[in-house]
Amino acid sequence: MTLSALLYVALGAFAGGVLRYGFTRILPSPICTFAANLVGSLAIGLAYGALSLGAGEEIISPLCIVGFAGGLSTWSTFAKELGEMVKEKRYWAFIQYLFWSLGLGIAVAWLGATWIAF
């Protein structure tokens, strides 16, 4: 890994982390986690779409995928919230949150990649 790649990761993670923090200030949990993960999935889709068009992998991958999406999305918090729903016997909320998070996450990543490549 080069120094420039590390700087791209750091810059992307900073931007993603700041956006994630902003989400926590305006959205309640688990909506905050849901929104952050969807925006992160969209960012990954857009980045992969750009890569498929020949965009510079040495910048796009560390900056957008590893840095920004990694700093923004939070699958560990998602798992914690799912665990809390089970512990609280909120099984219907668990099923809905799991379904919508995974389903829409995959969908927006695909839409982002398709939109850029289109």
Side chain identity at residue 46, one-letter code: L
Neighbours of 116 (CB within 10 A): 17
Distance in angstroms (rounded) separating the CA atoms of residues 31 and 37:
10
Is 70 annotated to bind a ligand? Reply is yes
Is 105 annotated to bind a ligand? Reply is no
94 φ/ψ angles, rounded to the nearest 5 degrees: -60, -50
Distance in angstroms (rounded) separating the CA atoms of residues 112 and 118:
10
What are the binding residues for Na(+)? 70, 73
| Binding-site residue set | 70, 73
